[in-house]
Structure 1
Amino acid sequence: MSRSRTRTGALAAGLAALAVLAVFDGPSAGAVRVRAEAATAARAPAPQRPLPAAEFNVRDYGAKGDGSTNDTPAIQRAVNAANSAGGGTVRLPGGGSTYESKNTLHMKSDVTLQVDKGATLSGNGADDYDPPEPNEWDDYQDYGHSHFHNAMIHGDRLSNIAFVGEGVIDGDGALITGNPESGEADKIISLTRCKGLRLGDGLTLREGGHFAALVNGCDDVVSDRLTIDTAMDRDGWNVINTTDVTVTGAHLDANDDALAFKSDYALGAKLPNGRVRVSDSYLSAGCCNALMFGSETCGDFTDYRFERIRIEGSDKSGLGMVSMDGSRISDVHYKDITMTGVRSPIMQKIGNRKRCGNNPGVGSISDITYTNVKATGSTPSFSPTLWGESGQSRIKDVTFTNVDLTVPGGNGTMSTDVPSNKSTDYNPKSIGTRPGYGWYIRRADDVTFIDSEVRFASDDGRPAVVANDSTGIRFSTFTAQRGSASPADLVFQQTRGYCVRDSANTGGGVLRVGQSGSSEDCG
C-alpha cells in the first residue's frame, strides 16, 4: 500500500474514533440504541440507521474490481480495518467494476458493506469457500439450514451491521442449490445470532444457491428496497428464529420459498419469533411458497402484520402457514393482498412431524385474520384449506373479511368424505383432492367469513365449502358460485353451531345448505 493510502487509512480510523465518541455516550450506549430502534421498528415502517461516518474504500486495500482478481482478501482487510476503527462503511465503488469473491468474507460488527451502483460482488466456482461447520443438531432440519459457514458472506454474534447500496451481490452460478461439497458454498449471506441488521437500500442479491439470505437467531432487522432474484436457484430470504423485523419495498423472485418465516433447531434451542412487519412488497415463487410460515416450526410465532403485498405465481401456497414441529402460531394478520397464479391461495395446516429437540408436542394456529384479499388459483385440487389436528391442536379464531377467490374449478361431482392426509408432510398435496372447490375446513373452531366470495373459472360439481368436525363456522354476506351438478353450496359435517346469514349464490339465489350431524346456531 502506498504511503498516501496509509495516511488515508490512518485519517479514516481517526475520524471513525471521533465519530464513535460523538454518537455514543458510554460503553453500553450502542446496545441502548439498538433496543430503542427495535421498539421503533415495531411501530413505524423501515426506520433507517445512519451510515457510519468513516469510509473504507476497498481499492485502498488492494481490490482491483477487474472481474478476474480474487478481491476477497482486500475486502476482508477493509472490513477488519473498519471494525478495528470502531465502525465504518466498506465501500465497493461502481463504474462497472466486478469484485471477484473466491473465498468466504467474514463480516464484522459495526460494519456497513456498501455495494455502489455499477458494482458487483461476484461469486466464483473456485471451491475455496469455508467448509460447513459441525452441528450436533443437524438431524432436526435440512442440511442447508444446519450449516452457516459455507457461504459467500458469513457472520456470527455480530451487532450493528448492514448490506446496502444499489449494486449487486451475485452468486454467478457458483453457489450450490443442493448439499455442497467441501469448498463449495450454498448461500450468499448467512448470519447467526446478530443484533441490528440492515439489508437493502436498493441492493440486489442474485443467484443465491440454496438461500440468497439466511438469518437465524437474530433481532432488530430492517430491510427497505431489497431485490432478490433467485428464480433459477432456490430460496429468496429465510428469516429464522428472529424477532423485531421490518421489511418494506421488497421485490423477491424465487424458485423455492420467496419469503419464509421459520423456526428450526439448528442453534440447539427452541427460540422465539415475532414482532414482524412486511409491507409494500412483491413476491413470486416458482415451485413453492410465496409468503410462508414453515415448514421448520419449532419455536412459537406471534405478532405479524403483512400489508399491501402482491404475489404472482407459486406452485404451492400463496399465503402458507403450517405448524409441523410443535410451534404455536398466533396473532397474524394479512391485509390488502393480491395473488395471481397461485396453486393454493391460502393454506393452514397443523401436522405432527415433530422435527424439533426437547420432545415437542403438536402445535396450534389461532387469531389469524385476512382482510381485503383477492386471489386466483391455478389448480382444482388444492382448494384453500384449514386443516387442524385434534385436542388442543385445532385451528381457532380465523376471520376472512372481503376475501374474494377465483379458483380453477373443473372437477366433477365427488364424494364429500374426508380426503387422505399425510400428517408429517406440510405440502398442499399432502391432502388429497378437497371435496369443496372453494374452501375445505377440518377441525377448526370459530371461523368467520364476512363480505367474502368464491368463484370458479370452470364449472365444478363440488360444493363451494365443506366444513368437517368443526364448531362456530359462520358466513355473513357470503357469495358462492353454484356448480351445475353440485349437491349443495355449503356442506357441514359434524359441525356444531354453523350459521349462514344474508348470503347468496352469484345469481342472487339462496345458498343451499347440506348438513350431516351438524347444528345451526345464528343466535
Structure 2
Amino acid sequence: MGNGSTNDTSAINKAITAANTAGGGIVRFPSGTYESKNTIRMKSDVTLQLDAGSTISGNGADTYDPPEPNPWDDYQDYGHSHFHNAVIYGDNLTNIGFTGSGVIDGDGALIIGNPKPGEADKIISLTRCKNLTLSGITLREGGHFAALINDCDNVVSDRLVIDTAMDRDGWNIISTTNVRIRGAHLEANDDALAFKSDYALGAKLNNGHVTVTDSYLSAGCCNALMFGSETCGDFTDYRFEGITIKGSGKSGLGLVSMDGAKISDVHYKDITMTDVRSPIMQKVGTRKRCGNNPGVGSISNVTYTDIKATGTTPSFSPTLWGESGSGRIHDIGFTNVDITVPGGNGTMSTNPPGNDPKDYNPKAIGTRPACGWYIRNADNVRFTDSEVRFAANDGRPAVIANNSAGIHFDRFTAQRGSNSPSDLLFQR
C-alpha cells in the first residue's frame, strides 16, 4: 500500500518483472499514493491497474533514467528524440496496458523543456510496442508529454483523461498504426492530440487506420487535433467523429505536411469547435526535416461533414495552402460546415499574403485577404450546404481562391462585408 513518502519504484519494477517472468499478469495499485522517484521500466505481457483512489506520483529528484544517445536527433525536437527519461518507459514490448481509474501524476517534477541528466520530461514513453491498452486512468502534469508513443501497432484507448494544461502536450501518437480512441478527455497547453511521424527511430515509418470518437479536446497555446508538424512517413485512413473542441491557440483541426508526407483519406464528422484561433488549417510546407532526402508532401481526399466552429482571430481565416507541382492540395470536401469568423478587419490588398514554407503555424502565413476561406494551390474543392459568417463587419471577400481549379459551391452561404471589393474572388 502506497504511503505517499516511501520511494516505491524498486518494488514496482520487481512486481513488473515477476509478472513478466510468470508469463504475464496484472500489477495492481490499491488506493494510496505510490512515490516513483526513478523510472518504472515496463515489460511485455504486463498491465498496470490503478484502482480508484490510487496515484503513482513522479516527484523525482534528478534520479530518472538518462536520455539515451540518438544519432538522428537533428531531425526532431529533443523531447521527441529521447525516450528513456520518463516516469514510465518501455521498448519493443507486446501486450501491455495501463487501466483502472487511478492517476499517474508528474506532480510538478517533470520538465517542459530540455531536461538535464536525471530529469524526466514525460510520463509514459513507449517505442516499438504492439497491443497497447491505455484506458480509464488520468495522466496529470506530464511535462513535455503526458504520453508519447512511437512505432506502435494496435492501440486501444477508452475514457483516457489527460490534464496537462499547465505543462505542454497531451498525447503524441507517432508513426503508429491501428489506433482506436473513444471517450478521451484531453486538456493540454500545447497540442492536445497529435498524430506525427518523425525520424527519431532512424526510419521513415507509415501511419494510419485510426478512429477517434466521442472525445473532448482543448489546447491552450497550440493545436487541439493535429497532424504534424513532424511528418516524415505517409498517413492514411483516419476517422474523427463526435469531437468537441473548446479552445486552441493555433488550429482547431490542423493538418500539415512539412517533411514530405503524403496525407490522404482523412475524414472529420460531427465536430463542434469554440474559441479556436484557426478553425481549419491545411498546409503543405517544405521544411523537409526527415532523413533520406524527402521531397514535398501532399494532402488529398479529406472530408469535413457536420462541422460547426467559431474562430477568434481575424488573421487566421480557414485556410487551404498547397505548394506548387506535386505539393498541391486536392480533392477536399466540406458538407454542412458552418463557420463563424470574428471579422472586424478592414479592406486590404487581395494579393497572396507572405508565407514561410518551413513553418507550420497558422501565423506563418500573413493575414489572409479573405475573411472566410482562403484557398491557394488547391484543386477539386467542394462546399455543399455550408456557410461562413462573421461576428463583426469585415472589408475582405468571404472567399478567395488563388491559383486553384475545380472550386465548387453548392448551396453555399457567405455573409457580405459592406466594404468588401467582392463576395467570392477567383484569381489566376
The bucket for the TM-score relative to the shorter chain is over 0.9
2:215 pairs, out of 281, 285, 289, with 281
Work out the CA distance in 2 between the residues paired with 1:186 and 1:236. 12
> What is the match of residue 303 of structure 2?
369
Equivalent position amino acid for 2:19 in 1: A
Deviations 1:258-286 (A, max 9, x none): 00000000000000000000000000000
Deviations 1:127-180 (A, max 9, x none): 100000000000000000000000000000000000011000000000000000
Alignment of 1:299-318 (within 5 A): 299-318=233-252
Equivalent position amino acid for 2:354 in 1: S
Is the 2:36–2:60 Cα contact (8 Å) retained in structure 1? no
CA deviation after TM superposition for structure 1 residue 487, in Å: 1.1
Query: Structure 1 stretch 480-489 or stretch 314-323: which is displaced more?
Result: 480-489
2:206 pairs, out of 272, 297, 320, with 272
Is the 2:398–2:423 Cα contact (8 Å) retained in structure 1? yes
Percent of aligned positions with the same letter in both sequences?
78
Gaps of 5+ in 2: none
Equivalent position amino acid for 1:78 in 2: A
1:162 is aligned to 2:97: yes
Work out the CA distance in 2 between the residues paired with 1:343 and 1:174. 31
Alignment of 1:280-429 (within 5 A): 280-429=214-363
Work out the CA distance in 1 between the residues paired with 2:60 and 2:102. 21
Alignment of 1:357-506 (within 5 A): 357-494=291-428
> What is the match of residue 178 of structure 1?
113
Task: Report the aligned-residue RMSD.
Answer: 0.4
Work out the CA distance in 1 between the residues paired with 2:154 and 2:262. 22
Gaps of 5+ in 1: 1-63, 495-523
CA deviation after TM superposition for structure 1 residue 125, in Å: 3.0
2:13 pairs, out of 57, 72, 76, with 76
3-state DSSP class of the match of 1:422?
coil
Work out the CA distance in 2 between the residues paired with 1:389 and 1:484. 32
3-state DSSP class of the match of 1:452?
strand
Work out the CA distance in 1 between the residues paired with 2:60 and 2:132. 28
Work out the CA distance in 2 between the residues paired with 1:454 and 1:98. 51
3-state DSSP class of the match of 1:139?
helix
Count how many residue pairs are aligned between Structure 1 and Structure 2. Answer: 428
> What is the match of residue 22 of structure 1?
none
TM-score (norm 2): 1.00
Work out the CA distance in 2 between the residues paired with 1:164 and 1:152. 16
3-state DSSP class of the match of 1:475?
strand
Work out the CA distance in 2 between the residues paired with 1:149 and 1:77. 18
3-state DSSP class of the match of 2:363?
helix
Is the 2:315–2:367 Cα contact (8 Å) retained in structure 1? yes
Work out the CA distance in 1 between the residues paired with 2:369 and 2:406. 20
Work out the CA distance in 2 between the residues paired with 1:89 and 1:66. 21
Name which structure has the greater RCO, CA cutoff 8 Å, separation 6+.
Answer: 2
1:146 is aligned to 2:87: no
Deviations 1:362-381 (A, max 9, x none): 00000000000000001100
Equivalent position amino acid for 1:134 in 2: P
Structure 1 outlier segments of 4+, above 6 Å? none
Equivalent position amino acid for 1:197 in 2: L
Deviations 1:215-257 (A, max 9, x none): 0000000000000000000000000000000000000000000
3-state DSSP class of the match of 2:213?
strand
Work out the CA distance in 1 between the residues paired with 2:355 and 2:313. 18
Alignment of 1:109-148 (within 5 A): 109-148=44-83
3-state DSSP class of the match of 2:295?
coil
Work out the CA distance in 2 between the residues paired with 1:256 and 1:338. 20
Deviations 1:303-338 (A, max 9, x none): 000000000000100000000000000000000000
Work out the CA distance in 2 between the residues paired with 1:123 and 1:266. 25
More strand as a share of residues:
2
> What is the match of residue 177 of structure 2?
243
CA deviation after TM superposition for structure 1 residue 124, in Å: 1.2
Work out the CA distance in 1 between the residues paired with 2:77 and 2:109. 21
1:108 is aligned to 2:108: no
3-state DSSP class of the match of 1:392?
helix
CA deviation after TM superposition for structure 1 residue 86, in Å: 0.3
Work out the CA distance in 2 between the residues paired with 1:218 and 1:412. 49
Work out the CA distance in 1 between the residues paired with 2:126 and 2:51. 22
Deviations 1:276-298 (A, max 9, x none): 00000000000000000000000
Work out the CA distance in 1 between the residues paired with 2:199 and 2:116. 23
> What is the match of residue 2 of structure 2?
65
Work out the CA distance in 1 between the residues paired with 2:63 and 2:51. 25
Work out the CA distance in 2 between the residues paired with 1:78 and 1:416. 65
Equivalent position amino acid for 1:67 in 2: G
Deviations 1:404-445 (A, max 9, x none): 000000000011000000000000000000000000000000
More helix as a share of residues:
1
Is the 2:27–2:47 Cα contact (8 Å) retained in structure 1? yes
3-state DSSP class of the match of 1:478?
strand
2:22 pairs, out of 85, 97, 102, with 85
1:188 is aligned to 2:135: no
Work out the CA distance in 2 between the residues paired with 1:392 and 1:161. 41
1:254 is aligned to 2:191: no
